[in-house]
Structure 1
């Protein structure tokens, strides 16, 4: 729910400069807003509508449940392509990101899913990884990072992307296990260090080091000052090594307040729907969604979302005593989701 909340708050402000966001909505967003006419991605969307961050997280979570702790890469590629087809048919400009698009093009050309993600270094893996954090305990940390790597292999199998996704997943998972946010952020840094050694090499700053640096930058600052520092120094672009440290830095400011955490993250501009989605996922895992004033509006704007039911299924996978630490076989063909499977195949029209 925190992921969806941050995503919906950041829907109208995504891709806008921070000064435009400030001039239009104030220093910090106070409510859900519709997509403005001058935003080519979100114009026309009603207040509270989620974007690709939530949609793709739901797809990933459903496949993780269907695979009993594994994500079938070809089924994931197929679901993502069908999602984008629906977006195009509805006239939406909210389409697949550059790393995912490249990987799925290669899948269509017959390239093995073990090879298609070797260049994916943007924040797509981290934006949708929260369900893995729900479905896998934080300890042992190596098992969580294994699950993160496997879930993103088809689109984002680089050290940078795995590090960022592992950090978000660890932050979520540690919160579910009852750790305070400060400890969860330390586990996030540890997970990023482990993830950086996985996958293919691409040039980029060390994600774990940048998370630690971003946390130091905002420590002791007022929220207003911290937002300026995150905006000017950490960055809110598509790069994993910007978006993930930015999200966790904002999360650190609001360990007990999901609503304020998401409002501030969504006010950053840039790729702030993704930043706010990751912030919301991590903080929400620690606080729950109680006290958020717009939950009814969020649900009404996205009636197809069944996040509580999905969370329950993910927690069942998490608690399964017989789940192996590692599997080398994919689910049988009969286990794969299809158009006739019992999984929710969202045709949301946005």
Structure 2
């Protein structure tokens, strides 16, 4: 498979999981079933979902918006830009979408960016962050950095994440997603991808401020060990929801996403499972489907969905793929 197909698959997969998971974002799984039914296609954000109500069918959320913003910044500078550059870009984007008033941001990102906007000490918030904001936007970095140097991957993730997240659990979780994307692009099996994910976790965990969060690697290992006892998709989904958790903590969302990616190994299947999962459905979907899309390539996503994602969000996947291809060989940390 061509490299560009796998890179395009990662970016398209990320936006697919995000957009399909948007309607039920931060709702319990039973509430999604009662209010929406079984989600199998793009839907408008329900009016009574205070987070999703601003979005129409096919639109992605702040997860993909921030990921593409960071991607453009890395491609522009051919390295990880300084914190102030990233903060200024994020604040400009927030202003354009009225993000603070619409409450589009996670708690950690909001607190850190408000501090940036006031020229206050943002590290008070980033060092204590436990949420998944760093992991949700990191997939494009895994398209730029190769899979063979986990130390470089972890260092790059830590550097780009520190604008909002600099704790051990958030740097480790984001590194797990970025490494999974990179290893999937390189054509590894999912078992080998998981081994790379475990390795980068241990490296990255040492790069962040220590917290007492649950260990994302350990949770992922438990979930993978339970998969053989699940008889069908519904039991896998329920196990992830009950055992790993599907909330906004990085220690829940990251292992949940990687478990679903490992089980589904296909971006469309993973997107539908994540959309109906309950909890932080858009973020888990964005991460899981980025990995699956990197594994299968963009052709595993139906053309009608690709067209909808591009039109609804005013983007072009080839443009982002070309940007990444032009940056991969010249990127320096």
Report if TM-score (shorter chain) is over 0.5. yes
Contact 1:18–1:270 at 8 Å: present in 2 too? yes
**Alpha-carbon distance in 2 for matches of 1:272, 1:217:** 21
Choose which of 147, 150, 158 in structure 1 pairs with 2:167: 158
Structure 2 residue 33 is matched with structure 1 residue 22:
yes
Are 1:181 and 1:283, in contact at CA under 8 Å, matched by a contact in 2? Answer: no
Find the residue that maps to 1:238 and give its secondary structure.
coil
Q: Secondary structure at the match of 2:247?
A: coil
The residue number in structure 2 matching 1:228 is 238
Q: What is the DSSP-based 3-state SS (H/G/I as helix, E as strand, rest coil) of the residue aligned with 2:78?
A: coil
RMSD (Å), alpha carbons: 1.9
Partner of 1:4: 15
Deviation track 1:273-332 (CA, whole Å, cap 9, x = no partner) reads 0000001111111011214232222222112x2333223222332223xx44x4xxxxxx
**Which residue, 65, 82, 93 being the options, matches 1:83?**
93
* Offset, 1:220: 4.8
Deviation at 1:78, TM superposition (A): 1.1
Give the C-alpha shift of residue 182 in structure 1.
2.2
Aligned to 1:202: 211
The SS at the match of 1:191 is: helix
* Aligned counterpart, 2:5: none
Q: For structure 1, list consecutive stretches of 5 or more residues without a partner in the other structure.
A: 327-350
**1: CA distance between counterparts of 2:290 and 2:220?**
16
1:174 aligns with 2:192: no
Quote the Cα distance in structure 2 between the aligned partners of 1:115 and 1:16. 30
TM-score by length of 1: 0.86
Structure 2 residue aligned with 1:244? 254
What is the aligned partner in structure 2 of residue 343 from structure 1? none
Mapped pair 1:300 → 2:311: yes
Could you tell which deviates more after superposition, 126-135 or 199-208? 199-208
**Superimposed CA distance per residue, residues 73-97 of structure 1 (whole angstroms, 9 cap, x where no aligned partner):** 11111111122222228x9735221
Question: Alignment partner for residue 143 of structure 2, among 127, 134, 153?
Answer: 134
Structure 2: gaps of 5 or more residues: 1-11
Q: Distance in 2 between matches of 1:19 and 1:251?
A: 22
The 2-side partners of 1:144 and 1:196 are apart by: 12
Aligned match of 1:338: none
TM-score, length-scaled by structure 2: 0.90
| 1:41 positional shift | 1.3
Aligned length: 319
Alignment check: 8 A CA contact 2:63 2:136 kept = yes
Does the CA-based 8 Å contact 2:171-2:204 persist in structure 1?
A: yes
**What secondary structure, in the 3-state scheme, does the structure 2 residue paired with 1:219 have?**
helix
**Higher relative contact order structure (alpha carbons within 8 Å, sequence separation ≥ 6):** 2
SS for the counterpart of 1:138 is coil
Distance in 1 of aligned mates of 2:185 and 2:47:
39
CA distance in 2, matches of 1:217, 1:150: 34
Q: 1:267 to 1:3 in 2, by over 3 A?
A: same
Q: State the distance in 2 between where 1:262 and 1:94 align.
A: 24
Q: Which residue of 2 aligns with 1:107?
A: 116
Instruction: Give distance in 2, aligned partners of 1:141 and 1:149.
Output: 12
Q: 8 Å contact 1:104–1:116 — kept in the other structure?
A: no
Decide whether the 8 Å contact of 1:126 with 1:240 is kept in 2: yes
The 3 A distance-change label for structure 1 pair 133 and 187 is same
2:55 to 18, 39, 45: 45
